[in-house]
């Protein structure tokens, strides 16, 4: 009985709070879970808050999309939850742009912008385990919501917990209401047409003999990636048959996250080897992230690129093609690239050498997306943006990462390089020779106990006594500390962080005397403590092995000395 009581307490004695631009939790009964009631309550809160901000919310409407997730025990599919979200809005005479079938997550912010909607909701848990689902909210600018919107929506949810009427439970209302539209055909057509702005070598693409394999990871990506390749003039990529069609159980993978690399790409490798394909692209279940692998030129297996390495290639590619059509150096003053502070500094190096602008944001594409909106509204051009967790946006079609367009752009880049007798990996090393090697390591430990997470970061802030931080890492002196949770930055004259303070999450960055930048943070969507390290070398330095050894020394110390002292059965090392 004790176990049953604990289970009831966990389900009923706490509520979900807005994290990374919405909700994400297990599906099932209880106020701390994703289910019919909590989605209805969340939508009532969203509507109530929208009314305080936008007088024309009813006429502008709300865009609603969903992925292919489901739950056999609760009947809690993404499609059903999307229809209940629509029903709440329709019960308040709000125009609802509800997609008639599953779509990639980036289609929702794209539709918000294209239709001039007041907001957007995507029902998805992205690459989380099959038991999870989520409720992702976009503001009228197409970007994911952030503070104060998240806190205000949560407050309005708590003020509207009682379902307003029986209509809120009526998922069939979407079939009867004249206020419901289906934006699928229009948005898909506009998206694919606009995608041509990222295609620079269509004639070359049409004659390309390079074979490419695509895995949709049992999600929504197959149909849309096939179309994107055709728009670029390519033959459709070869789909991994076991992973081509939607499957909410993710039957062929232990984890539906292509960011895990080799361990989840086995079927892609086998198919590529049978078909003679040398490039693999894999979109995660909601198709907003992209993994890339390439058969090694020496025939010895596959090179799975990290998010930072893919970004180095895509950043180079986007700027290379931009320069071809913009010979006037003055045009550089309007060009920007963005990345998050835990991502590689490679774009910063590009910008310093090439002369365009670079900015970094807090982790999460909500920060990138909102900054993109500010820049484009001011007449600036965002050429490329990324986060290291394989989230990329080429161009500025919408302020959100996009695996579909990125897959097509990677294919064209690979095709162009192939015509020059270069592989992606060879070009990556060419980039590093010109701009300097950027050697990085990203991983995480599992921590299912929030109290343990707080203890880890509390210890780091008091490593050598009250009010202190660690002084060395891996034998190297720490020269600067930035703690955005407390707003502290020792590199600033006033000791105040330039990045926004985020007291609801933890993130501490250490800069070492040897140039290594190391960051520890807790994930906003998963029970993880993530760590990131990078060592940036000067251009021309080619002793990569020594750089990697130096970085690994620091990374090992970061985990062993900074995290391991708090380890218990709830904290597990991940290599």
Q: Residue 426 contacts by C-beta under 8 Å, 6 or more apart in sequence?
A: 297, 417
Are 10 and 55 within 8 A, CB to CB?
no
Dihedral in degrees, nearest 10, Cα atoms 409, 414, 418, 422: 130
Please provide the DSSP assignment of 376-411 as one string: HHTT-EEEEEEETTTEEEESSSSSS--HHHHHHHHH
- What SS3 state is found at 304? strand
- Residues in the chain, total: 575
Are 536 and 515 within 8 A, CB to CB?
yes
- What SS3 state is found at 129? coil
Count of CB atoms situated within 10 Å of the CB of 121: 28
Q: How far is CA 357 from CA 41, 320, 349, 354, in A?
A: 43, 15, 10, 9
Catalytic pick from 32, 77, 126, 344? 126
- 126 catalytic? Reply is yes
Q: How many CA atoms lie within 13 A of 381 on its CB side?
A: 13
Q: Residue 148 contacts by C-beta under 8 Å, 6 or more apart in sequence?
A: none
Task: Kindly state the tokens that stand for 517.
Answer: 């930048």
**Residues 469, 473, 478, 481, CA torsion sign:** negative
Dihedral in degrees, nearest 10, Cα atoms 181, 186, 190, 191: 70
* d(C-alpha 314, C-alpha 320), whole Å: 10
Q: Residue 64 contacts by C-beta under 8 Å, 6 or more apart in sequence?
A: 82, 85, 86, 89, 96, 97, 98, 99, 108, 120, 121, 122, 123
* d(C-alpha 321, C-alpha 319), whole Å: 5
Strand partners, 294: 279, 303
Would you please indicate which residues are annotated as catalytic (active-site) residues?
126
């Amino acid at each position: 009985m004790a176990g049953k009581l604990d289970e009831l307490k966990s389900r009923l004695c706490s509520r979900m709070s807005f994290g990374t631009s919405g909700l994400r939790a297990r599906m099932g009964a209880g106020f701390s879970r994703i289910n019919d009631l909590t989605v209805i309550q969340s939508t009532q809160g969203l509507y109530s808050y929208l009314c305080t901000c936008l007088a024309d919310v009813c006429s502008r409407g709300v865009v609603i999309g969903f992925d292919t997730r489901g739950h056999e025990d609760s009947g809690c599919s993404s499609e059903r939850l999307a229809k209940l979200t629509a029903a709440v809005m329709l019960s308040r005479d709000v125009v609802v742009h509800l997609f008639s079938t599953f779509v990639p997550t980036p289609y929702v912010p794209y539709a918000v912008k294209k239709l001039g909607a007041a907001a957007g909701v995507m029902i998805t848990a992205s690459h989380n385990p099959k038991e999870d689902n989520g409720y992702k909210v976009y503001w009228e600018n197409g970007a994911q919501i952030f503070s104060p919107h998240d806190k205000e929506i949560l407050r309005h949810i708590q003020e509207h917990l009682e379902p307003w009427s029986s209509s809120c439970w009526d998922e069939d209302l979407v079939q009867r209401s004249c206020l419901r539209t289906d934006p699928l055909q229009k948005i898909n057509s506009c998206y694919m047409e606009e995608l041509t702005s990222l295609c620079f070598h269509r004639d070359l693409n049409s004659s390309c003999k390079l074979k490419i394999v695509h895995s949709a990871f049992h999600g929504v990506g197959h149909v849309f990636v096939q179309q994107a390749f055709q728009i670029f003039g390519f033959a459709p990529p070869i789909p991994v048959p076991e992973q081509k069609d939607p499957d909410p159980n993710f039957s062929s993978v232990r984890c539906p996250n292509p960011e895990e690399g080799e361990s989840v790409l086995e079927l892609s490798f086998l198919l590529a080897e049978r078909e003679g394909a040398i490039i693999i692209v894999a979109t995660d279940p909601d198709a907003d992230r992209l993994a890339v692998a390439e058969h090694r030129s020496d025939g010895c297996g596959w090179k799975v690129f990290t998010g930072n390495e893919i970004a180095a290639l895509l950043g180079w590619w986007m700027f290379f093609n931009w320069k071809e059509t913009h010979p006037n150096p003055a045009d550089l003053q309007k060009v920007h690239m963005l990345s998050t502070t835990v991502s590689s500094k490679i774009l910063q190096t590009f910008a310093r050498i090439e002369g365009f602008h670079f900015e970094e944001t807090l982790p999460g594409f909500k920060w990138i997306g909102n900054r993109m909106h500010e820049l484009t509204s001011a007449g600036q051009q965002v050429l490329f943006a990324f986060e290291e967790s394989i989230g990329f946006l080429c161009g500025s079609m919408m302020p959100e990462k996009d695996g579909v367009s990125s897959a097509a752009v990677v294919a064209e880049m690979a095709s162009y390089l192939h015509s020059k007798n270069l592989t992606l990996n060879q070009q990556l090393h060419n980039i590093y020779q010109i701009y300097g090697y950027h050697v990085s390591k990203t991983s995480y430990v599992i921590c299912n106990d929030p109290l343990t997470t707080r203890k880890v970061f509390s210890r780091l802030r008091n490593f050598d006594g009250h009010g202190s931080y660690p002084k060395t890492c891996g034998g190297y002196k720490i020269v600067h500390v930035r703690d955005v949770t407390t707003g502290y930055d020792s590199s600033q004259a006033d000791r105040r962080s330039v990045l926004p303070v985020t007291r609801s999450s933890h993130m501490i960055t250490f800069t070492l005397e040897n140039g290594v930048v190391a960051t520890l943070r807790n994930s906003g969507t998963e029970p993880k403590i993530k760590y990131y390290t990078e060592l940036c070398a000067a251009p021309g330095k080619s002793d990569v092995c020594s750089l990697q050894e130096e970085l690994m020394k620091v990374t090992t110390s970061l985990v062993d000395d900074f995290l391991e002292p708090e380890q218990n059965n709830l904290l597990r090392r991940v290599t």
